[in-house]
């Protein structure tokens, strides 16, 4: 080989295929070095420690998932809205206590028609003629039919117990049912002992409604 041919060989550009291969090899080498550098501390740990950490991470993730708020479940647990509860306490409960509990509560001598109106469950279950109300449906609620006096065989309260409710009271009952009949009253299973609710005077005089007074000075 002449000196001229050797000079041309030295001056000729490197093969592009070999250059690309060298770059790929160098890149893989760098990534491999990084992987082993980063992962070595983990793999140096005892197997038991690695398994324990994995279990803890899995349990933590599951717990975090369970603690995420569920809108539907939260709304169900929250129950009736506060405005509905206030409406019931101010407009509905007093009417039921004064005009209905005497014949339709757990303190009645005889529960007429098998109907209880002193719990939400009692209203929804109803008595001999079926549910007393259909939440959200005024016209299908027997309670409204009874207080309107549109059926001679179904009138509440009866005339001998004070007669028909006022138009305002009936309108309040209709509005209450239309809003879904919000009712915070508990079932019999969790009702606290106390004076008969059918007797407003005893309720007012119950110790729970008395002011707490300090002991007189000696």
pLDDT at 52: 57
- Shared domain for 20 and 94, answered yes or no, is no
Let me know how long the chain is: 218
- Shared domain for 7 and 54, answered yes or no, is yes
Query: CB within 8 A of 148, min separation 6: which ones?
Result: 170
Long-range contacts of 57-60 (CB under 8 A, 24+ apart): none
214 domain-assigned: no
Given 67, 98, 120, which residue is the final one in a domain?
67
Q: How far apart are CA 149 and CA 4, in angstroms?
A: 124
- 3-state helix, strand, coil split of the chain in percent (to 5) is 60, 5, 40
pLDDT tens series, the chain, 218 aa: 554 544 454 555 555 555 556 655 566 566 556 555 555 555 555 655 655 566 656 656 665 555 555 544 444 444 558 999 999 999 999 999 999 999 999 888 888 889 999 999 999 998 998 999 999 999 999 999 999 999 888 899 988 888 899 999 999 999 999 999 999 987 664 444 455 555 666 656 665 556 666 555 54
Phi first, then psi: give them for residue 97, nearest 5 degrees.
-65, -45
Model pTM?
0.51
The first and second tokens of residue 165, run together, are 């409710």
Tell me the CB-side half-sphere exposure of residue 216, using CA atoms within 13 A: 1
- Shared domain for 84 and 132, answered yes or no, is yes
Q: How far apart are CA 120 and CA 208, in angstroms?
A: 23
Given 67, 95, 117, which residue is the final one in a domain?
67
- Shared domain for 107 and 200, answered yes or no, is yes
């Amino acid at each position: 080989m002449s000196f001229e041919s050797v000079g041309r060989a030295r001056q000729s550009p490197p093969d592009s295929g070999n250059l690309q291969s060298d770059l790929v090899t160098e890149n893989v080498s760098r990534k491999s070095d990084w992987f082993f550098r980063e992962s070595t501390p983990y793999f140096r740990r005892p197997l038991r420690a690695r398994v324990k950490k994995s279990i803890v991470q899995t349990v933590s993730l599951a717990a975090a998932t369970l603690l995420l708020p569920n809108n539907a479940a939260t709304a169900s647990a929250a129950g009736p809205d506060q405005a509905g509860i206030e409406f019931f306490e101010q407009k509905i409960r007093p009417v039921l206590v004064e005009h209905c509990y005497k014949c339709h509560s757990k303190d009645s001598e005889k529960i007429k028609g098998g109907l209880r109106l002193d719990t939400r469950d009692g209203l929804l279950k109803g008595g001999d003629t079926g549910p007393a109300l259909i939440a959200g449906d005024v016209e299908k609620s027997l309670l409204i039919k009874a207080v309107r006096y549109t059926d001679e065989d179904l009138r509440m309260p009866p005339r001998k117990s004070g007669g028909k409710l006022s138009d305002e009271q009936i309108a309040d009952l209709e509005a209450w049912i239309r809003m879904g009949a919000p009712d915070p009253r508990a079932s019999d299973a969790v009702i606290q002992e106390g004076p008969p609710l059918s007797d407003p005077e005893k309720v007012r005089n119950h110790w729970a409604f008395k002011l707490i007074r300090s002991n007189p000075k000696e």
